[in-house]
Amino acid sequence: MRTILHSDCNGFYASVECLYNPEIRSKPVAVGGDAEKRHGIILAKNEYAKKYNIKTGEAIWQAKEKCPSLIVVPPHFERYMRFSEMCRRIYSDYTDRIENFGLDEAWLDVSSSGGDGADIAEEIRRRIKSELGITVSIGVSFNKIFAKLGSDYKKPDAVTVITHENYRDIVWPLPVGDLLYVGRSTEKKLKSLGVYTIGELAEFPLPVLRSNFGKWGDILHTFSNGMDASEVMYADEISAIKSIGNSTTAVRDLENTEDVKMIFMVLCDSVCRRLREHGALAGLVAIYVRDCNLVSFTRQHKLLCPTDITGEILEEAMQLFNSNYSWNKSIRSLGVSLGELRSINEPVQLCLSSDEHDRERKMYLDRSLDLLKNRFGSFCVRPATLMKDPMLSGFSPKEEHVIHPVGYF
């Protein structure tokens, strides 16, 4: 029988920051973005801050209304990556099947580790606390979904075991929104059908789930009934990247198309550099737009020719924007993502409508610029148009914070 662990570092970013700042350990602490640059949201909080009902993702000013004494510290992602790697080294003493789910979470398959799953989880919990100075909550179960629910069930610094015998008592009474990948819209739709708990979802007629959710209905049924059979990947196994994206909240509202183009130039440079690092071509471009009233939308367009050329991606992004925005309001945030990725080594149908010699020249130019930026930083070579407003364009998503959890599927 399979034994799967899910280890979740408690208040990870905040816990690491408190290690580096002992004087704030016993105070309410949150890690947050830069409020001056309007990236002012809560990224993580410690246990003291949780007592004030501070939530991840809410604005810093909202959190401080709940807790005026809240200490907000800036993120240091290099620290978090280091601690994530140290956790992974501890996990590797027990199994080579380790699948990260972001920096602070991982599944472990300890079925062949020669011990009881609960005992292994307790030993890992004690080691991380004593060796690294942070705490983890670990779920132990017979599949990945229930193991994840177990790590969320009791926090902080705890182990929860969910078995074939007790999962109906532990899992089924939980709110349906606690199930992995049941987001707000899915939860809302399930509640409209009278489904409020995981147990109600498990016993809900499968044909009705299929008629309302399509193939996703089968997945919801599988997850809630504990029939997930997905494997935990090996530690050195890399899942296929399905999309690459970056978004940003501008330092000021964007008032015109010229402002938008400057932001898109920076974002497209970042996503295309990352695309080329993975040796991939994109077949689809999508944009995200959020106005000053926090109303947002996304639009996407499939490309005739897969590409990794920055200029072509920028042109597609601007065409999507110009076709879908009428400037009724100023803009607060923009994003660009690339999908339908394929290896650059795969055969590609050439575009009869384009000059392939010119495209090849642009490809070589992009790669030459990549070498310079990788060596000297993203700001060593910049289009002159970005210098019209250095404050607006003076950010580098490629170098600042690019952390992408591995998807479950």
Q: Which residues participate in catalysis according to the annotation? A: 105
Question: Helices 184-192 and 215-224: crossing angle, nearest 10°?
Answer: 90
Contacts of 33 (CB under 8 A, 6+ apart): 39, 40, 41, 43, 60, 74, 75
**Cβ burial, residue 173 (10 Å; 0-12/13-18/19+):** exposed
Exposure b/e, 251-280, CB count within 10 A at least 16 = b: beebeeeebbbbbbbbbbbbbbbbbbeeeb
Distance between CA atoms of residues 273 and 266, nearest Å: 11
Given a contact cutoff of 8 angstroms between Cβ atoms, the answer to whether 362 and 309 are in contact is yes
Q: Is 18 left (phi over 0), alpha (psi -120 to 50) or beta?
A: alpha
Contacts of 178 (CB under 8 A, 6+ apart): 149, 152, 198
Q: Which residues pair with 175 in a beta bridge?
A: 197
Given a contact cutoff of 8 angstroms between Cβ atoms, the answer to whether 37 and 251 are in contact is yes
Which residue, among 180, 123, 190, has the nearest Cα to 149 in the 3D structure?
Answer: 180
Tell me the two tokens of residue 236: 């050195």
